[in-house]
Structure 1
Amino acid sequence: MEKHVKELFTWKVLNEAAQKFNIVESSLKDLEGFQNFVYFGKSNETSVVLRVTHKSHRSEEEILSEIDFINYLSKNNVSVSKAVNSIDGEFVEKIDNGEFYATSFEFSSGRKARIAEESNLFYQIVGNYTGRMHNLSKKLNPIDDLNRRKWHEKEFLINMKKYLPAELSYVIDKYEILKNELSRLPKNTDSYGIIHGDLNHGNYLNVDDDVVFIDFDEAEYSWFVSDIAIPLFYEIPIPWVIDGKQRLEITKRYYNNFMDGYVKENTIDQAWLKLIPDFINLRQFGVVSAIYRSYNFHNYDNWSDWDKEALKFYLNNIKNDIPYIEMDFCR
């Protein structure tokens, strides 16, 4: 998040937010959120998550729409971490005179999924819940019923010029080309609606080989295929870790199991599956922008080898129009 937002977030703000949800101050543990301030805590001996959001990131209406979507999914048997009411019966509380918004969610005992290490069944369940979510999204009317942003309004995309240095102007140029191509795609109830927007191994938790979806902060209006492409971006190891045939086999195992679960709950045309590489690329652009906003390049020498190699990989892909993975996604 932006430096000035971090400076505004004080212990006084956190304590006020915790009090609104009856969370014991001494129980708070920083979960190191990327876009929000996220803490574990205890409320009446129950484990919960406290999330504090700056007003520049989300409006109160956007957060309430996020929670409406979560509740809708929960009522229709999608395994999600639900919102918790404050002591005043509200889902969203204004903090520091409206500078921040606080929300609380159920804490899941599950662990983050391990890339390329989970069972076939686990990946099938991830796909199953994703398909069910998309099927339910189709039934929401009208298309703008929930106050959530469109796919191209993500902070990292709209502020790319601000975050990237001048020597990476080619990244912005190539993003604009992709954005224009995607903008021409049809938007109808069979292909486009509200999606999770950030499905990855950190946001689908493993609970004894069952799945819980968490963190709908990036829920947005986009094509359903994006929710298939985004987890692929994260589940496919960068070549520096695993390359060649083994990397392709990892991709196929995840994708085939995911889709086996997905098609039990939702249908998607082959034409959309052919576009998975474009939507993986879209996520790649967003991640590059996020890195330049959030990482300290003055401290580059102390970055992990993975971070350095991942950024090189992403930039080389973009500069030379190299697919993230060479694979036929049609089924």
Structure 2
Amino acid sequence: MEKRLKELFTKEVLHEAAQRFNIIQSSLKDLQGFQNFVYFGKSNDESIVLRITHKSHRTEKEIVSEIDFINHLSSHHVSVSKAKTSIHGKFVEAISDGEFYATSFEFSSGRKAKIAEESDLFYQRIGGHAGRVHSFSKTSNLIHHLNRRQWHEKEFLIHMKEYLPAELSYVMDKYEILKRKLSQLPKNTDSYGMIHGDLNHGNYLNVEDDVVFIDFDEAEYSWFVSDIAIPLFYEIPIPWVVDGKQRLEITKRYYYNFMDGYVKENTIDNAWLKLIPDFINLRQSGVVSAIYRSYNFDNYNNWSDWDKEALKFYLNNIEHDIPYIDMDFSR
């Protein structure tokens, strides 16, 4: 998150947002959101999540569309954390004269998934629910009326040039080449629609091997294959953690189980699966941009070893056109 937004976010904003959703002030706990201010809280005896978004990140219409998408997915048997209404019966409340927007969601009792440590069944269920999201997106008229951004309109992609230092101009150059390639891909109801946009081990919770999708803040119009590639980007350990054959086996176990669940709910042509490496590269470029926007490089020596090694890995991949993982994703 940008430093200026943290400076704008005051205790008064938090307290006003909590009051709108009848959340006990003393129960608030910071959940350390990356793009939004996210808190756990109690409303009467119910546990809920309070999310506060700056107007520069999302418009009110975009947030309303996100919630419409979530609620319709829930009615079509996708396991999601549903939105809650405020004391005024609204899903979205303008805070501090419209400088921020507050929303709240059900708090799931599930835990964040652990990379490479979950069961085959859990991975199958992630794929199954992703398939349901895409199947709904193919068939619902709602999808054509949601006010959400296109894949290339992500903040990290639009502002990449200003976030990156001059010596990393090659990252922008490689992204532009990839963007032109992806822009030539067909967009039809079988391949393109509304997706979650940020499926990763932090955004699907494990409830005794069942799955709950949370955080649809990045829901966007994109190719369905992107929702398959993005979790792979996060579930494949960087080589500094696990390398060689073991890294490949971890990838295969996740991917094969994910797809076993996915194809039970949605069909996707094999030609799209062959493009997974391109969509992994798209996420990799966006993550590099996000790091340079949000991380404090003056404090680099105090970064975790994982953060340092991950950034080096991403940059080396991009500069030298090295595949994130050398694997054939066709089925």
Normalising by structure 1, report the TM-score: 0.99
Q: Kindly report which structure 2 residues correspond to 1:67-216, keeping only aligned pairs within 5 A, or say none.
A: 67-141=67-141, 144-216=144-216
Does the CA contact (< 8 Å) of 2:197 and 2:220 recur in 1?
Answer: yes
Q: Are 2:264 and 1:264 aligned?
A: yes
Partner of 2:42: 42
Mapped partners of 1:143, 1:9: distance in 2 = 33
**2:138 and 2:193 in contact (8 A); partners too:** yes
Deviation above 6 Å: which 4+ runs of structure 1?
none
Task: Sort the Cα spacing of 1:38 and 1:199 in 2 relative to 1 into closer, same or farther, 3 A.
Answer: same
Q: Percent identity?
A: 82
- 3-state SS, counterpart of residue 145 of structure 2: coil
1:162–1:255 Cα change, 3 Å: same
Q: Determine the C-alpha separation between the residues in 2 that align with 1:142 and 1:150.
A: 16
Q: Deviations over 1:163-218 (max 9, x none)?
A: 00000000000000000000000000000000000000000000011000000000
Question: C-alpha displacement at 1:72, in angstroms?
Answer: 0.5
Structure 1 residue 142 displacement after superposition: 6.9
The SS at the match of 1:328 is coil
Task: Report the counterpart of residue 228 of structure 2 in structure 1.
Answer: 228
* Contact 2:79/2:212, CA 8 A, preserved across alignment: yes
SS in 2 for 1:123: helix
**AA partner of residue 279 (structure 2):** F
CA distance in 2, matches of 1:144, 1:133: 15
Q: What SS does the corresponding residue of 2:94 show, helix, strand or coil?
A: strand
Cα distance between partner residues in 2 of 1:171 and 1:82? 37
Partner of 2:321: 321
Task: Describe the SS at the equivalent of 1:118.
Answer: coil
Give aligned pairs, total: 331
Residue in 1 that maps onto 2:6: 6
User: Please, which runs of 5 or more residues in structure 2 have no aligned partner?
Assistant: none
Where does residue 302 of structure 1 map in the other structure?
302
Instruction: Deviation per CA, 1:122-153: give whole Å up to 9, x if none.
Output: 00000000001100000123754100000000
Question: Following the alignment from structure 1 to structure 2, what is the Cα–Cα distance between the partners of residues 196 and 47?
Answer: 24
In 2, the alpha carbon distance for the partners of 1:141 and 1:106 equals 26
The Cα shift of 1:327 comes to 0.2
